[in-house]
Amino acid sequence: MMDSANSFLSVVLAVLCTASAMGDFLKLPSVMRAAETVHCPPNLCTVLGLIKIAAAAGLIVGLTVDKIGIAAALGLSIYFALAVGAHIRVKDRLKGTLPAIGMLAASAATLATSL
């Protein structure tokens, strides 16, 4: 079983990932602008949303099956590290990069508390 800090972070991160995925599925203008900025094809947004939903589910399952939660947190840490890298690659402004940085921090904190 995970400790209470990890449980809290896992639930918060699962909610954030679900909300972010909804933006991907609905192709919200802010999401589409961010995707365009990093040269991500619009049709890939649905796939990225599915990845976030799968990870959110993994975090919730991970509340009882530790290894699943660890895998989900690790996967999200890698996902958002790549997202930050994509923003840096195109020299995006900090305002555009900050959401990915925040999600990377949340993912890394969740991973750290799960080990």
pLDDT digits (tens, 9 = 90+) for 44-71: 999 999 999 999 999 999 999 999 999 9
Task: Give the pLDDT of residue 10.
Answer: 98
Provide mean pLDDT across the span 62-87: 98
- The token pair that represents 50 in the structure block: 């599915």
With 90 as the cut, is the pLDDT of residue 1 above it? Answer: no
DSSP secondary structure, 26-60, as one string: HT-HHHHHHHHHTT--TTHHHHHHHHHHHHHHHHH
Q: Judge if pTM exceeds 0.85.
A: yes
Share of the chain above pLDDT 90, in %: 97
The span from the CA of 71 to the CA of 73, in Å, is 6
What are the b/e assignments for 59-72, b being 16+ CB within 10 Å? bbbbbeeeebbbbb
